[in-house]
Chain A
Amino acid sequence: MPAGAVRPMSVSVQTSKLTLALGLAGALLGAPVTARDVPKRVVSMNLCTDQLAMLIGGQGQIVSVSQLAADPRSSAMVEQAKGYLTNHGRAEEIYLMQPDLVLAGTYTARATVRMLERLGINVVTFEITNSLDAIPEQMIQMGHVLGQEAKAAGLVAQFEATLAEYRADIANRPKAALYHANGYTSGDRSLAGEILTVAGFENIAASAGYAGGGVMPLEVLAMAQPEAVIQSAPYGGGSRAEEIMDHPVVAALRENGEAGGLTDHDWMCGTPFVLQAIADMTDLRTRIQEAAE
């Protein structure tokens, strides 16, 4: 992604200069010259902002992360999350932590976010990441709101270098399907879809007419005959929604092709951990291709 690689780099050069003179930075970004303080008590209430904040935030800067950050199913930073207070996204508990900055996702309980804003707390919301290109942007945004531009720029450079190594021309792409609970499939225009593509798979969702994702009937999956069915691990307790992942049709596809890889915490958020997901999927693809030869 040449365009994407150039743009964030130029921003990071700019930001490393800015960190030398924070006052000047404030002026450039339209804030009062002296008022661009670095937030000292940051509370994050969204799984994805949790992880970005823990990666980019400075020592002692982050006070609390959401409870999901400590859930190994969803979070790639369970160990790190143990070092922070846990919040459950409730306005009252967050207000009592006396944060000077709250990080939320755009879909985080709107009422809670509005309540916090009414209480005079500065809330910054982050968009959901739907593409790999958006990850550096979010890291830079996080670096900016936390006053950690240099650290963010370093991570971005690292991320883009590793990602570039994976992006290669793959002539022979095995067909794969992302198939989740309730028969939901992720199309090309999603983070999971891009992970699959970079790892060298052809996502059958696109040719089956689900490029934007959606519920793909089992029949359509069966007719497409993917060589790999990539699923998420079921939660405890059991549900009808997840039963579909054990349907004989899916099991037969698993036998014909390769055992479905698991979409785990590395797939959940637009963080550098997606590189791990890409690595796992690249391994899977190599195994499939070697088995076919």
Chain B
Amino acid sequence: MSRLALFLSALVVVLFLAALVIGPANLTITQSLKALVFGDGGPMTLVMREIRLPRAILGLLVGGALGLAGAAMQGYLRNPLADPGLIGVSGSAALGAVLSIQMGLAAALALALPLMALGGALVGVVLVLLLAGPRGSSLTLILAGIAISAFAGALTSLVLNLSPNPYAASEIIFWMMGSLADRSMVHVWIALPLIVIGAVLLSTLSRGLDALTLGEDAAEAMGINLTRLRLSLIFGTAAVVGASTAVAGAIGFVGLVVPHLLRPWVSARPGALLWASALGGAAMILASDILVRVVLPERDLKLGVVTALVGAPLFLHLIYRTRRWGA
């Protein structure tokens, strides 16, 4: 397990550095790292510190948040199909973010953007948990998720179509697919506090989720406070997904793919899967963001496209397997 931690950490570091040295400005590796660390006040420093650094940090944060949220939801629901994107939490967060921008709240107070997104995500999580029930059978969970996703997506489109801003309507795709293009340090500072708070809340779940694998009664017998666990899960997930979506749009499938790939490596223990998925999610978003910059640098290919190309086939595979095992 510690070898897994070492491997994932090394992978994240390598991808983070790669994200820093790849870009359209054609700087050499030494040039760019020197400009980043020492800073000569010239254009290279500007590129490194104001464009590439925030993008790489956001990739790390958003990926970690989505991987963590996916692992936590899956552990709590004991269902491998629970992904914040698929069950409508990201979509609801995007609706909150769009509302805060279009109502002018985000312009008045920077933190209104992630807070409104958190509010949207909170509504999404609570709705999905209520609809799917405490044990969350796969079918009801996915159906509830589809309904919430579709409704939140429609409302997001409606708000953007009603906006007086002619560019707003064309941004429906950003809110549905997500992108890290042209983000700045401002966005890092907007997202960071809520992601940290949410991550701390979710990391306290580790022991509870492990205990929950034995069933709710057994978990309670082991001294796990299920109400507190549930509240931490709801607020933690809403905080990390809300803050991520507020700055990067709704990126799907990260919370599905990463826990699935890493589960065998942590002996299927949901508690250990939390930190592993956070690292894995960071690696996946950093790699996807490098990919969109290398493959189609001119087109601002959305991150969600890449994650869906990887994630959707896996999702189908999981559905097929769930059906065969008779959920």
Contact = CB atoms under 8 A, between A and B. Distances in A.
Given A235-B167, A237-B168, A238-B101, A218 B43 contact: no
B24 interface: yes
B50 A239 contact: no
B43 A225 contact: yes
Contacts of B25: 217, 219-220, 222-223
Contact of B46 (A235, A239, A252): A252
Interface in B148-197: 163-168, 170-171, 174, 182, 184-186
Interface stretch (B78-86, B102-110, B132-140, B219-227): B102-110
Q: How many of chain B's residues touch chain A, expressed as a range?
A: 20 to 34
B182 A239 contact: no
B101 A249 contact: no
A248 B187 CA distance: 11
A191 to B, nearest CB: 19
Contact of B185 (A241, A244, A248): A248
A182 B51 CA distance: 15
A247 B106 contact: no
Contacts of B104: 238
A50 B25 CA distance: 42
A237 B165 contact: yes
A235 B104 CA distance: 12
A222 B25 CA distance: 9
Contacts of B174: 240
A248 B184 contact: yes
- Which of B46, B166, B186 is most buried by chain A, counting CB atoms within 10 A of its CB? B46
A218 B102 CA distance: 25
Interface in A222-250: 222-225, 234-244, 247-249
B50 A217 contact: no
A248 B51 CA distance: 9
Dominant secondary structure of chain A at its interface with chain B: helix
Given A215-B298, A222-B25, A248-B185, A242 B165 contact: yes
B171 A241 contact: yes
Contacts of A234: 165
A249 B52 CA distance: 11
A188 to B, nearest CB: 19
A234 B51 CA distance: 22
A58 to B, nearest CB: 33
A238 B107 contact: yes
Interface in A189-207: none
Contact of B164 (A217, A220, A225, A235): A235
Nearest to A208: B24
A215 to B, nearest CB: 7
**Which one of A222, A238, A242 has the greatest number of beta carbons of chain B within 10 Å?**
A238
A240 B107 CA distance: 12
Contact of A181 (B102, B167, B298): B167
Given A183-B182, A218-B51, A249-B51, A239 B171 contact: yes
B163 A219 contact: no
A214 B50 CA distance: 22
A249 B50 contact: yes
Given A223-B43, A225-B43, A237-B102, A252 B50 contact: yes
B28 to A, nearest CB: 13
A223 B182 contact: no
A219 B165 contact: no
Give the interface centre of A181, A214, A241 by most chain B CB atoms within 10 Å. A241
Interface centre among A214, A237, A242, A252, by most B CB within 10 Å?
Answer: A237
Contacts of B43: 222-225
B300 interface: yes
B24 A239 contact: no
Interface in B1-54: 23-25, 43-44, 46-47, 50-52
A223 B182 CA distance: 15
Interface string B87-106: 00000000000000110101
Given A217-B23, A217-B297, A219-B24, 20 more contacts: A181-B167, A182-B167, A214-B298, A219-B51, A220-B25, A222-B25, A222-B46, A224-B43, A225-B43, A234-B165, A235-B164, A236-B164, A237-B164, A239-B101, A240-B171, A243-B182, A247-B50, A247-B182, A248-B185, A249-B51
27 contacts: A181-B167, A217-B24, A219-B23, A219-B25, A219-B47, A219-B51, A219-B52, A222-B43, A222-B47, A235-B164, A236-B165, A237-B164, A237-B165, A237-B168, A238-B106, A238-B165, A239-B101, A239-B168, A240-B167, A240-B174, A241-B171, A242-B167, A247-B50, A248-B185, A249-B46, A249-B50, A252-B46
Q: Sort A-B residue pairs by CB-CB distance and give the 9 closest, nearest first.
A: A241-B167, A237-B165, A219-B25, A239-B167, A237-B163, A235-B165, A237-B164, A217-B24, A239-B165
